[in-house]
């Protein structure tokens, strides 16, 4: 498991043809990679989907925050559904 207290790592992603940098802790990068694989899409496509969802809300968080929130919401949904429960 990735050290949960590791500082953020900046990576470039492309959204709608535009490159942007996102800083996330390695644990969130790992979770994002796993989510993209589970959804059968590249990380860029998943980030673009999260970005599209976040800009539709009344008070949109920053993209990095939206990704973290999306990942936590996904995890909570999986736990509620009993997915990944030991």
Asked if the model's pLDDT at residue 75 lies above 60, the reply is yes
- Alpha-carbon distance of 54 to 72, in angstroms, equals 14
How far, in Å, CA of 28 to CA of 72, rounded?
A: 9
Q: Give tens-digit pLDDT for 16-64.
A: 899 999 999 999 999 999 999 999 999 999 999 999 999 999 998 999 9
pTM: 0.88
Taking Cα atoms as reference points, which of 31, 24, 20, 38 lies closest to residue 75? 31
Residues β-bridged to residue 24: 9
Would you say residue 86 has pLDDT above 60? no
81, 82, 83, 86: CA torsion to nearest 10: 170
Task: Return the CA Rg of the chain.
Answer: 13
């Amino acid at each position: 498991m990735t050290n949960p207290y590791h500082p953020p790592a900046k990576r470039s992603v492309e959204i709608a043809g535009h490159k942007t940098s996102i800083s996330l802790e390695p644990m969130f990068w790992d979770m994002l990679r796993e989510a993209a694989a589970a959804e059968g899409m590249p990380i860029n496509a998943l980030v673009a989907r999260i970005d599209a969802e976040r800009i539709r809300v009344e008070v949109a968080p920053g993209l990095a925050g939206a990704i973290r929130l999306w990942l936590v919401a996904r995890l909570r949904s999986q736990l509620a559904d009993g997915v990944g429960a030991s």
